[in-house]
Amino acid sequence: MGDAISYKDLGLVNSRELFRKAVDGGYAIPAYNFNNLEQLQAIITACVETRSPVILQISKGARNYANETMLRYMAKGAVEMAKEMGGDIPIVLHLDHGDSFELCKNCIDSGFSSIMIDGSHLPYDENVALTRQVVEYAHTHDVTVEGELGVLAGIEDEVVAEKSTYTQPEEVEDFVKKTGVDSLAISIGTSHGAYKFKLKEGESVPPLRFDILEECEKRIPGFPIVLHGASSVIPEYVALINQYGGKMDGAVGVPEDQLRKAAASAVCKINIDSDGRLAVTAKIREYLANDPGEFDPRKYLGAARKELISLIKHKNEAVVGSAGKA
Ligand code: G3H
Ligand code: 13P
Ligand code: ZN
């Protein structure tokens, strides 16, 4: 890695002010994962066009895939691109599911403005200690920190959680006080990936545990809460994927009305990755099936990017409610 660089020199912001406004305004800031150029272009284009603040998320896996130096310059490029488009929107560069102090420190030193330290799999006291250590370093650099209490079912980056453990509301106040985190991810029934609920024939998706969310809110009033695993696994994309040679039977996500309800509460950050992956895969499959002779990646990646732009605009406008808030 080269010399340490501050996110402020890249034109990025931390999440503090965005979350305060989102909690007060009853909407959420969307956090979209990216791994490549087309995803980043789509996120920026859609957020500028809808005048939405945005959190660009990079997982450990994305960082390994895309190269950390490349990512730093991509984030800088995203800020410049937004400005050129005439939309000076607030852009946060966030580490998704950081799993060690060293990784978090490395990201802070290489231009991230926000960090998640996910100690949710650790015993409570170890989660507190690790999160506290990250907060101490991050805050000396004016970087904001997200912690997590409770475990989501599904795949959390490289850690596989077989079963979800809902957040215990009795713990949140103590955790926030002892760690000094700026926001808290909680587990209320969402999970990562495209297979969030196992439904039998005729069954519908069970509602999220809004009772747990309310209990948490009561104990830490106005404190920014984060929802992971918030893709809706849009059925049209799953159908396209299956129509054009894919196999994604039983893929199901969180209904949009539940996410709207969450966004209106103290949930101020909603994480969406899988829906973007589905949109890209559906459009590439469709494109190549209809034009099997095409071999210019700009053609099929361009079609995927176009779809991603309309998906993200839809999320900002009709799901998280961040459109017009930049
Ligand atoms: O929470 C996980 C995100 O969807 C990132 O996934 O670790 O495969 O990049 P990834
Ligand atoms: P989804 O898999 O539901 O998109 O969740 C993404 C996420 O929580 C990233 O941290
Ligand atoms: Zn997540």
- Residue 62 zone, left/alpha/beta (φ > 0; ψ -120 to 50; rest): alpha
Task: State what percent of residues in the chain have pLDDT above 70.
Answer: 96
| 229 Cβ below 6 A of ligand 2 | yes
pLDDT for 163: 60
What is the DSSP annotation of 188-256? SS-BSSSB-----TT--PPPP-HHHHHHHHHHSTT--EEE-S-----HHHHHHHHHTT---TT-B---H
What the block records as the tokens of 188 is 């209320």
Cα–Cα distance, 280 to 300 (Å, whole number): 9
Q: Give yes or no for residue 72 having a pLDDT over 60.
A: yes
Any idea which of 122-131, 175-184, 198-207, 233-242 has the lowest mean pLDDT?
198-207
Cα–Cα distance, 60 to 93 (Å, whole number): 13
pLDDT for 304: 98
Q: Return mean pLDDT, the chain.
A: 95
Q: Give yes or no for residue 159 having a pLDDT over 70.
A: no
Which among 278, 184, 163, 275 has a CA at the least distance from the CA of 227?
A: 184
| 96 Cβ below 6 A of ligand 2 | yes
Q: How many beta carbons lie within 10 A of that of residue 90, not counting itself? A: 23
pLDDT for 5: 92
Condensed to tens digits (0 to 9), the pLDDT of residues 264-273 reads: 999 999 999 9
Which among 60, 83, 85 has a CA at the least distance from the CA of 71?
A: 60
Cα–Cα distance, 78 to 56 (Å, whole number): 10
Using the atom order of ligand 1, give the atom closest to the CA of residue 59: 9
Condensed to tens digits (0 to 9), the pLDDT of residues 44-67 reads: 999 999 999 999 999 999 999 999
Cα–Cα distance, 72 to 56 (Å, whole number): 12
Query: Are the CB atoms for 234 and 275 separated by under 8 Å?
Result: yes
Condensed to tens digits (0 to 9), the pLDDT of residues 87-126 reads: 889 999 999 999 999 999 999 999 999 999 999 999 999 9
pLDDT for 3: 78
Helices within 26-123 (DSSP H only): 37-49, 60-66, 68-84, 101-109
Condensed to tens digits (0 to 9), the pLDDT of residues 122-158 reads: 999 999 999 999 999 999 999 999 999 999 876 444 4
Pocket test for ligand 1, best of 95, 155, 187, 270 (most atoms within 8 A of CB): 155
pLDDT for 201: 87
What the block records as the tokens of 148 is 């997590």
Condensed to tens digits (0 to 9), the pLDDT of residues 275-318 reads: 999 999 999 999 999 999 999 999 999 999 999 999 999 999 99
pLDDT for 200: 86
Look at ligand 1, atom 4, and give the residue with the nearest C-alpha: 273
Q: Give yes or no for residue 164 having a pLDDT over 70.
A: no
CA of 156 to the centre of ligand 1 (A): 7
Domains and CATH numbers, the chain: 7-319 (3.20.20.70)
Condensed to tens digits (0 to 9), the pLDDT of residues 30-44 reads: 999 999 999 999 999
pTM of the entire structure? 0.96
Name the helix (H) or strand (E) containing 320.
Answer: none
CA of 156 to the centre of ligand 3 (A): 6
Rg (CA), the chain: 19
Q: Hey, which residues are catalytic here?
A: 96
| 274 Cβ below 6 A of ligand 2 | yes
| Burial (Cβ within 10 Å: 0-12, 13-18, ≥19) of residue 167 | buried
Cα–Cα distance, 28 to 14 (Å, whole number): 15
Cα–Cα distance, 30 to 319 (Å, whole number): 9
| 238 Cβ below 6 A of ligand 2 | no
